[in-house]
Amino acid sequence: MTTDESLKNLVREKYTEVANQSKDFNAASCCGCGPSCETDGEFLGIMAEDYTKLSGYVADADLGLGCGLPTQFAQIKEGDTVIDLGSGAGNDAFVARAATGNSGKVIGVDFTEAMIAKARANAEKLGFNNVEFRQGDIEAMPVSDNVADVVVSNCVLNLVPNKANVFKEIYRTLKPGGHFSISDIVLEGELPAGLQHAAEMYAGCVSGAIQKSDYLGLIEKTGFVNITLQKDREIVLPDSILAEYISSEEIEAYRKGNLGIYSITVYADKPSPAAAEIRIRTAKPTDKESVTELLQSAGLPTADLSPELSNFLLAFVDGQLVGTAGVEVTGDYGLLRSVAVKESFRNYKIAQRLVNDLTKQMRLQWVKELYLITTTAETYFAKQGFEKVERTAVPTEIAQSQQFSGLCPSSATVMKKSVEKPKIKLLELEQASSCCTPNSGCC
Ligand SMILES: C[S@@+](CC[C@H](N)C(=O)[O-])C[C@H]1O[C@@H](n2cnc3c(N)ncnc32)[C@H](O)[C@@H]1O
């Protein structure tokens, strides 16, 4: 077993115990170190912040394990999808749910079975059907790409051996333009060995904590932007406790030096794709499977897709297929079809770019008119220069095509756009190029 795996097993064992203990038992540290570190309540509240005033607070979900209030800076809006990493008994997930309302969704991820069971029981008691708890490792989350508007987490990443993996997972699961708000424990300076031990005992979170600058550096390296330290609070360990682990000289040096354990809350955005990052190219036969998948997810027909996907354009962001549009050409006419963009990429005018580029392509193929049929997007296509036409005005070539006759319910709207001809005929271009012999001077 690798060191990382054995560390994770230790963490899992510890949180299985924690899930079965009372809040007071756990609150001695953000990581619930239990009776081994109880000191007459001296450490109660050192890490955790007061949740009880937050909207959506659920006492049964608050095991006293947090070290900040990530939801305070998470800018969660009604209808948002939120992921809570290391959700424990659901403390932050229920607060997030109060902000998303019934129209949103909250997904809590935790790898400790006893925590998941506790969180699910809490959700069940409250009758929430839009808060879901999934058992899994946040280094490889059981969540699809680009689904979350917001990711939150409270005092968890410090426990994870490979924090870079977690930030990559956050990036993967956030929608472009989404953001995270994470509370966690970090260090500044090398703690004296004895204090490191004390910190591990009294604040178990600290054992896996890394330097603040490294933590922020990892976030930047992952590709996040607008990285903002919303809160930066030193966790002050009292002398009486320090004295149990380090000498009075070391205490003095510690107090004077730039060393410390900090609870931070950090915010960052996943960048939105700029127009330049959206790549558009002609489809190849090998794209058929991914195009079919995208069309199916958009509820569009796929049975009649030609295997060549001729006259289909595809849009990619970071190598991922995010949009498609195709034209079936019959003589002088084209039928625009299969215009679909992945839900999380719908704010970037990708459909508009695909349709514009296809129109240019049709112009070069001497198509005179483009037609389409729609039940839901009449207003959208009107903005792209299509006008509504009567079915009787549709040319026979299009009306009799399999796509039109097979897929056009009587309730659907038929729309048309004239395709302007290129200024120079291809034939003329060919003739022009044939004269381009060396020294002819015509080029
Ligand atoms: C300190 S507790 C915080 C719980 C919760 N965020 C809260 O504030 O109440 C840490 C939680 O993270 C979970 N955890 C730790 N490492 C994890 C990992 N690699 N993947 C998923 N969950 C993890 C633990 O099981 C535990 O429930």
Indicate whether 437 belongs to any domain: no
Indicate whether 128 belongs to any domain: yes
* pLDDT bracket for residue 285 (50, 70, 90): very high
In sequence order, the 6+-apart residues with CB closer than 8 A to the CB of 395 are: 332, 333, 369
* DSSP bridge partners of 334: 329, 370
- Can you tell me which atom of ligand 1 is nearest the CA of 89? 9
Compute the distance from residue 84 Cα to the ligand 1 centre, in Å.
Answer: 10
* pLDDT bracket for residue 421 (50, 70, 90): low
How far is CA 79 from each of CA 100, 101, 299, rounded to the nearest angstrom? 5, 7, 22
Residues with CB under 6 A from ligand 1: 8, 11, 15, 30-31, 63, 65-66, 86-88, 91-92, 109-112, 115, 137-139, 154-156, 159-160
Structural domains counted in the chain? 2
- Asked if pLDDT for residue 195 goes beyond 80, the answer is no
Please give the pLDDT value at position 46. 60
Q: Report the alpha-carbon distance of residue 62 to residue 92 in Å, rounded.
A: 9
**Residue range 385-404: average pLDDT?**
87
Indicate whether 310 belongs to any domain: yes
Q: Which amino acid residue places its CA nearest to atom 11 of ligand 1?
A: 86
Helix (H, G, I), strand (E, B) or coil at 173: helix
Compute the distance from residue 201 Cα to the ligand 1 centre, in Å.
Answer: 17
Pairing relationship of beta strands 413-418 and 369-374 according to DSSP bridges: antiparallel
Sign of torsion, CA 114 118 119 123?
Answer: positive
Asked whether residue 340 falls in the same domain as residue 198, the answer is no
Please give the pLDDT value at position 197. 65
DSSP assignment of 335-373: EEEEEEE-GGGTTS-HHHHHHHHHHHHHHHTT--EEEEE
Read off the CATH number of the domain in which 243 is found: 3.40.50.150
Indicate whether 98 belongs to any domain: yes
Asked whether residue 38 falls in the same domain as residue 186, the answer is yes
Would you give the end-to-end CA distance of the chain in angstroms? 70
Q: Which amino acid residue places its CA nearest to atom 14 of ligand 1?
A: 86
Structure tokens given for 54: 């937050």
Q: Which amino acid residue places its CA nearest to atom 22 of ligand 1?
A: 110
What backbone phi and psi angles, to 5 degrees, belong to 366? 60, 30
Indicate whether 436 belongs to any domain: no
DSSP assignment of 185-237: EEEESPPPHHHHHHHHHH-GGGGG--BHHHHHHHHHHHT-EEEEEEEEEE-PP
In sequence order, the 6+-apart residues with CB closer than 8 A to the CB of 437 are: none
> Crossing angle for the helix pair 212-222 and 163-173, nearest 10 degrees?
40
Q: Report the alpha-carbon distance of residue 94 to residue 81 in Å, rounded.
A: 13
* DSSP bridge partners of 264: 184, 232
Indicate whether 123 belongs to any domain: yes
Give Cα 68 to chain centroid, integer Å: 22
Asked whether residue 417 falls in the same domain as residue 398, the answer is yes
Q: Which amino acid residue places its CA nearest to atom 5 of ligand 1?
A: 88
Contact between 325 and 349 (Cβ < 8 Å):
no
Residue 66, CB-side half-sphere exposure with 13 Å CA sphere? 26
Please give the pLDDT value at position 98. 97
What backbone phi and psi angles, to 5 degrees, belong to 335? -115, 110
Asked whether residue 392 falls in the same domain as residue 243, the answer is no
Asked whether residue 241 falls in the same domain as residue 295, the answer is no
Read off the CATH number of the domain in which 391 is found: 3.40.630.30
Asked whether residue 245 falls in the same domain as residue 225, the answer is yes
Asked whether residue 250 falls in the same domain as residue 306, the answer is no
pLDDT in tens, 205-251: 556 788 999 999 999 999 999 898 888 888 887 888 778 878 898 88
Which among 237, 269, 301 is the end of a domain? 269
Best substitution site from 87, 110, 139, 206 to test ligand 1's pocket, by max atoms within 8 Å of Cβ?
A: 110
Rounded to whole angstroms, the maximal C-alpha distance in the chain is: 98
In sequence order, the 6+-apart residues with CB closer than 8 A to the CB of 256 are: none
Asked whether residue 319 falls in the same domain as residue 235, the answer is no
Asked whether residue 350 falls in the same domain as residue 228, the answer is no
Q: Which amino acid residue places its CA nearest to atom 3 of ligand 1?
A: 65
Indicate whether 443 belongs to any domain: no
Q: Report the alpha-carbon distance of residue 71 to residue 85 in Å, rounded.
A: 12
Choice between 48 and 360, residue whose per-residue pLDDT is larger: 360
Residues counted in the chain: 443
pLDDT in tens, 1-49: 558 888 888 889 889 988 987 766 665 544 444 333 443 334 435 667 7
Which among 234, 269, 304 is the end of a domain? 269
**Residue range 54-82: average pLDDT?**
93
Asked whether residue 235 falls in the same domain as residue 283, the answer is no
Q: What range does the domain containing 336 cover?
A: 275-429
Indicate whether 325 belongs to any domain: yes
Contact between 268 and 226 (Cβ < 8 Å):
yes
Asked whether residue 226 falls in the same domain as residue 304, the answer is no
- Asked if pLDDT for residue 266 goes beyond 90, the answer is yes
Kindly report the average pLDDT of the chain as a whole number. Answer: 84
Structure tokens given for 25: 């038992």
Which among 246, 269, 292 is the end of a domain? 269
Contact between 230 and 265 (Cβ < 8 Å):
yes
Asked whether residue 261 falls in the same domain as residue 283, the answer is no
The pTM (predicted TM-score) of the whole model is 0.69
Compute the distance from residue 310 Cα to the ligand 1 centre, in Å.
Answer: 50
